[in-house]
Structures are given as C-alpha cells and as structure tokens.
C-alpha cells in the first residue's frame, strides 16, 4: 500500500492502465483514508494531480476497483469546487454506465457519486441528463420498489436522493421525471417502506420538489398519496417530521381533487387535533404548528366539494370547531376562523344558514376587538367573511339591522389598502337594492369624503375601483336628492364621470346609470361639475366608438336626453353634432339601442 497520499496519486497516474489490481486497490484505499481525515484538502490535491481523468478509465464493470473509485468520486464531489472538474474529467458517462451493473456496492457508490455531482450543479445535471442517467435510476427504483431488505432500502434511499439533487428547483428536469412516471413509483415506495425513516424522508423531499409543478398535481391525484401522507402524519411525534409532511401537503392541497382526497383520508381531524394541542402554548414549534395546521385547514376549504363536505349543512363538527376559533385569544386562530367562514360563505345556502345561526354577531365582536391598533390580517379576513355573507338578497336586511354597516364604518380611518378594499366591498354588497340603508350611508358626509379621497388612490387600483363603485351604488340604490347633494358637495361627480370611461363595462354602466339619476334629480346642483368633468365630450366618444357595448350606448343616450334640461350642457350637446352619431345608431343590431336612438334623435331635433 502506498505510504502517503502524494505517492498514491503519482502511482495512480503512472500505472493506472497497466498496474495490478492489488497495487491499485492500495492507492485507492490510501485516497479514501486521506479523504476521511480531511476531505477538502485531499480533494484539492486530487484535482491538482490530474488523477480525476484517470478515474474515468478505471470505471469498468469487470474491475474489482470500480466501487472504490465511485466512492472516491462521491467523496470529492461533496465539495462544491470539485463538481465541475468531475464533469470536465468525463466521469459522468462511465458512472451512468455503472448503473447497469448488478453489484450492489457499485450501484450504491455510483448513485452517491452522481447525486453529489448533481447537487446545486447545473453542469452536473446537464451531463447526467445528456448521458440518460435519470431514466436508468427511475427504472432501478421501479425494479427495487417492493424489496424490503436493508441493502435494497439503502440503494433506494441513495437513488431517491440522487433524483432529488438532479431535479431540485429545476422545472425542466422535474417535468422530465414526471413524464417518466416517477410519481406513482415514489408514492408506492412510500407505502411499502413507511417504516424506514431515511427512505421516507427522501420520498417526502422528492414530493416537495415535484409538488410545486402543476402537471405533477394531476399525476398525484391519480395515486393514493393523500391516504399515505395522512397515515404517515398520524405516526409523527417530532415537529421536524410533521413540518416535512406539511411542506408536501400545502402545494398538493392547492389541487381541488386532492383537497377532497385529503378530507376523505382524515387530514382535517389531524389538523384539529394539532390546533387543540398547540393553541395555548407559546413554544416556538407549537406556534409554528398551529399556524401551519390552521392555514392548511383554510386551504382545504377553498375547494367547493371539500368545503361542502365539511360544512354538512351547518351541522358538521368541523364547521362547529372552526366557529369556536373566532372568539379565541390567538390571532392566528381568529384569522383562520374568519377566513374559514369566508370560504364556507361561497354559496347562498351556506350564507343564509350562517346568518340565521348568529355568525354575524361573532364576526362583529371579532372586529370590535381589532378596531384600535388591530391586527390587519384579522380585520381583512373578518370583513371578507361579512362581504360574502351579504351577497344573498335575504341576508342584507338582517345584517343591516344587526348593525353590520356601523361595525364596518369603524374602519373608515384605516390606512391599510386591503382593509379599505374589503370595507368598501362589504358596504356595496349590503346596500344592493336596500334604499333606506343606501340613503343613510349616502348622507354620511364623512363616508362620502373618504370615498372621494380613495377615488384618487392611484397606487391601489382595487381601492380606487371599489370607491367609485360604492359612490355610484349609493346614488343608484337610494335615488335620493340628499345623497346626490352630499356627493356633489364632496367633489364626487368628477370621479363618476371618469368611471364612465373605465375599461370594465360593468363599471362604465354603473357610472352612467348614477349620472343619469343625478341629471334627472339634481341637474342644477351638479351642472357645473358635470361641465368641468367634460361629460358631454365623453358621451360623444362613447357613442361614436364601435367597441362600446350596447348597454353603454343605450345608457349614454338616456343621459344625453337628461342633460338637455340644462342650458349650458344643451349648448355643448348641440355644438358636438350628436344628431349625426345618434342617427347612425337607429340601424344598430341591438333593438333596444336602435329604439333609444330614435327617441334621442327626436329629442335632439326638438331642442335644436
């Protein structure tokens, strides 16, 4: 045996091709010993010596040294700076060839070597891909899958690790593995080897890698992954192990089919148990588990089928448990509870049942706890739930009489756009076809002034859009002169005129209907503002534009007819040749538009 590393390296380089197996083995043992003592320093010496190229010729199926050579390559490739030199030395093709060998030790060390070279190395992965290594490894995993002897399980662990390093954070290579059908194989592996901690862990990390891809979720949905993960989850005691399973569950649960499978496999019961155990603890691990479990619970409720299954007509134990989170002292549970209610409130039947069973008071109590220096995410979630509950017509009056509008208005001072957005949406839902409530809110100068301010929130398109829509809704549903006067005094008219040019037809329409009501009820008060906002020019543009929707053309003509009641606005209409535009619309394919064009033409002809 060579007595030191330098001698061994020289000897290897000179005699690799014609030395005896014994002398070669001695040199290789010396290298392995040196690597065990100081891996980095020894690796540097190996690189400088030029021996890496020699290894390529030593990787031969019939050689007794092959396993040791592969072991040395695996050891040096633990260092980042050695991975590219391994690729450049041409080691990948002969290593991939060794995967066809029957010797278990050769397979083990070859799997380690390829896995280490691929770790965080673009060049390593490309070389393995080019040599067809992944395909062979997937086939090997498939053929070994059912074997439970320790040697086979060790091989499987190494091969799973190799695939993980090969595809980690690389969408193209992950897709390649998915197309090779690796997912059903890995799920089967997890089921058979669930007692083997190392192999289970490798499977989980591999799942975590692949589960982010959309195409993988479709494949996962055809396996019994939900059942296997829940079964495994129930056995775990350690926080880290649970966390690993959570990291796979979260991306998988984004798929609606898998959501339902997880619910049917009993995941919800596991999550509720975690919540119960961790809710009063301030230990870091427990706080993290509480958050993950409650977040995942909310995610499961995003699927229509899984949500309905857990709602069980409002009688479900899961629904009842989630309700109990809302009055909790944990912000995390309050948040999850409110978000869960918002998710349950995705169809009229559920919303009506929840309002009839007192959920509104619970949400208002929760909001009350967060008015002063409150938790923004909780405010946002509770307002989301109230907004959804206010959608069914029969709920609006009940929620208004319960004082929801007053509870929501407490957040008018909020400077947080997400809260502003939900507050506006909730009020808009509440006053839909509720004339009295619309009038009451529309006369509230503080509210209207805040809406006008938010109509200029150019950095927050959602808030700006919702403010405009609520301004319009206050007029459309109240049909009140007092409301119109309040909006005029607060400077809201120009925003409604701008809204008529929105890219969204629904918003354009709402603006035009509100403006027509202003023109019909309070034209004198609004006249100057309508003129300054160049409403007449905008209407001319909307009527001339072939792309304008039929309802936009119809409501623009109705508004033109109403504006003629003002002398100054009538002059503007006459100066802009509206007759010509309107007469063309008499032959419009939409009968309602054509009829309104005839009426408008008559009115304009009379007034001219």
Taking only the tens place, the pLDDT of each residue in 4-25 is: 777 677 767 666 555 555 678 8
The reported pLDDT for the residue numbered 325 is 93
pLDDT in tens, 363-384: 999 999 998 778 899 999 999 9
pLDDT in tens, 124-176: 999 999 999 999 999 999 999 999 999 999 999 999 999 999 998 889 999 99
What contacts 167, CB < 8 A, 6 or more positions away? 125, 134, 173, 174, 176, 177, 209, 210
The reported pLDDT for the residue numbered 577 is 81
pLDDT at 46 > cutoff 90: no
Rounded distance between C-alpha atoms, residue 383 and residue 94, angstroms:
63
Do 158 and 112 touch, CB atoms closer than 8 A? yes
pLDDT at 245 > cutoff 50: yes
pLDDT at 109 > cutoff 90: yes
Question: In the predicted model, what is the mean pLDDT of residues 225-232?
Answer: 93
- Per residue, the 3-state secondary structure of 104-158, as one string, reads HHHHHHHHHHHHHHHCCCHHHHHHHHHCCHHHHHHHHHHHHCCCCCHHHHHHHHH
pLDDT band at 492 (very low <50, low <70, confident <90, very high): very high
pLDDT in tens, 318-359: 898 999 999 999 899 999 999 999 999 999 999 999 999 999
The reported pLDDT for the residue numbered 1 is 34
pLDDT in tens, 173-205: 999 999 999 999 999 999 999 889 899 999 998
Out of 349-353, 444-448, 561-565, 573-577, which region has the weakest mean confidence (pLDDT)?
573-577
What contacts 82, CB < 8 A, 6 or more positions away? 43, 46, 47, 76
Mean pLDDT over all residues of the chain? 90
The reported pLDDT for the residue numbered 17 is 56
The reported pLDDT for the residue numbered 575 is 85
Helices (runs of H) and strands (runs of E) counted in the chain: 41, 0
Rounded distance between C-alpha atoms, residue 26 and residue 227, angstroms:
51
Rounded distance between C-alpha atoms, residue 299 and residue 293, angstroms:
10
According to the per-residue pLDDT averaged within each range, which of 211-225, 390-404, 564-578 is highest? 390-404
pLDDT at 27 > cutoff 70: yes
The reported pLDDT for the residue numbered 34 is 87
- Per residue, the 3-state secondary structure of 250-306, as one string, reads HHHCCCHHHHHHHHHCCHHHHHHHHHHHHCCCCCHHHHHHHHHHHHHHHHHCCCHHH
pLDDT at 2 > cutoff 80: no
Do 433 and 396 touch, CB atoms closer than 8 A? yes
What element of type H or E holds 74?
Answer: helix 66-76
What element of type H or E holds 217?
Answer: helix 214-221
Tell me the domain boundaries of the chain.
446-533
The reported pLDDT for the residue numbered 125 is 94
pLDDT at 315 > cutoff 70: yes
Out of 5-14, 223-232, 454-463, 473-482, which region has the weakest mean confidence (pLDDT)?
5-14
pLDDT at 516 > cutoff 60: yes
The reported pLDDT for the residue numbered 312 is 87
């Amino acid at each position: 045996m060579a007595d030191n590393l330098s001698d061994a390296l020289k000897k290897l380089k000179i005699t690799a091709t014609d030395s005896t197996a014994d002398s070669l083995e001695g040199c290789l043992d010396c290298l392995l010993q040196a690597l065990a003592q100081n891996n980095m320093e020894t690796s540097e010496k190996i690189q400088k010596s030029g021996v890496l190229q020699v290894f390529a010729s030593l990787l031969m199926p019939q050689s007794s040294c092959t396993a040791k050579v592969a072991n040395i390559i695996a050891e040096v490739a633990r260092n980042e700076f050695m991975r590219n030199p391994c690729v450049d030395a041409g080691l990948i093709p002969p290593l991939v060839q060794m995967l066809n060998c029957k010797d278990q030790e050769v397979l083990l060390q070859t799997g380690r070597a390829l896995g280490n070279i691929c770790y965080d190395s673009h060049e390593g992965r490309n070389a393995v891909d080019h040599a067809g290594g992944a395909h062979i490894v997937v086939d090997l995993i498939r053929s070994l899958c059912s074997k439970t002897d320790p040697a086979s399980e060790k091989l499987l662990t190494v091969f799973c690790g190799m695939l993980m390093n090969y595809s980690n954070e690389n969408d193209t290579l992950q897709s390649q593995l998915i197309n090779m059908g690796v997912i059903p194989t890995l799920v089967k592996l997890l089921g058979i080897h669930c007692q083997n901690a190392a192999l289970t862990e490798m499977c989980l990390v591999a799942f975590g890698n692949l589960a982010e891809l959309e195409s993988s979720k479709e494949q996962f949905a055809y396996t019994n992954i939900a059942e296997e993960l829940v079964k495994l989850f129930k056995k775990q005691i350690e926080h880290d192990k649970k966390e690993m399973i959570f990291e796979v569950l979260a991306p998988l649960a984004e798929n609606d089919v898998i959501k339902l499978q997880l619910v049917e496999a009993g995941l919800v019961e596991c999550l509720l148990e975690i919540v119960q155990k961790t809710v009063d603890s301030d230990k870091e691990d427990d706080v993290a588990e509480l958050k993950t479990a409650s977040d995942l619970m909310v995610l499961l409720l995003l699927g229509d089928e899984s949500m309905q299954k857990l709602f069980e007509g409002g009688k479900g134990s899961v629904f009842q448990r989630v309700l109990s989170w809302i009055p909790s002292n944990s912000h995390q549970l309050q948040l999850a509870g409110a978000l869960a209610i918002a998710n349950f409130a995705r169809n009229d039947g559920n919303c009506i049942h929840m309002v009839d069973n007192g959920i509104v008071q619970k949400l208002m109590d929760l909001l009350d706890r967060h008015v002063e220096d409150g938790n923004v995410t909780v405010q946002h979630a509770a307002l989301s739930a109230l907004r959804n509950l206010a959608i069914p017509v029969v709920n609006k009056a009940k929620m208004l009489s319960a004082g929801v509008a007053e509870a929501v208005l407490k957040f008018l001072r909020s400077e947080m756009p997400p809260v502003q957005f939900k507050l506006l949406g909730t009020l808009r839902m509440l006053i839909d076809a509720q004339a009295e409530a619309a009038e009451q809110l529309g006369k509230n100068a503080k509210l209207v002034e805040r809406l006008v301010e938010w109509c200029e929130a150019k950095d927050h398109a959602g808030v700006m859009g919702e403010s405009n829509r609520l301004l319009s809704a206050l007029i459309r549903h109240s049909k009140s002169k007092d409301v119109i006067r309040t909006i005029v005094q607060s400077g809201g008219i120009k925003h409604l005129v701008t809204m008529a040019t929105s890219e969204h037809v629904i918003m354009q329409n709402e603006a035009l209907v509100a403006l027509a009501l202003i023109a019909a009820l309070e034209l004198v008060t609004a006249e100057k503002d309508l003129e300054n906002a160049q409403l007449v020019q905008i209407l001319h543009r909307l009527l001339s534009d072939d792309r304008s929707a039929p309802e936009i053309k119809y409501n623009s003509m109705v508004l033109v007819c109403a504006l003629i009641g003002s002398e100054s606005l009538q002059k503007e209409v006459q100066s802009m040749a509206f007759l010509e535009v309107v007469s063309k619309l008499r032959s419009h394919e939409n009968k309602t538009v054509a009829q309104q064009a005839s009426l408008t033409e008559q009115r304009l002809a009379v007034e001219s």
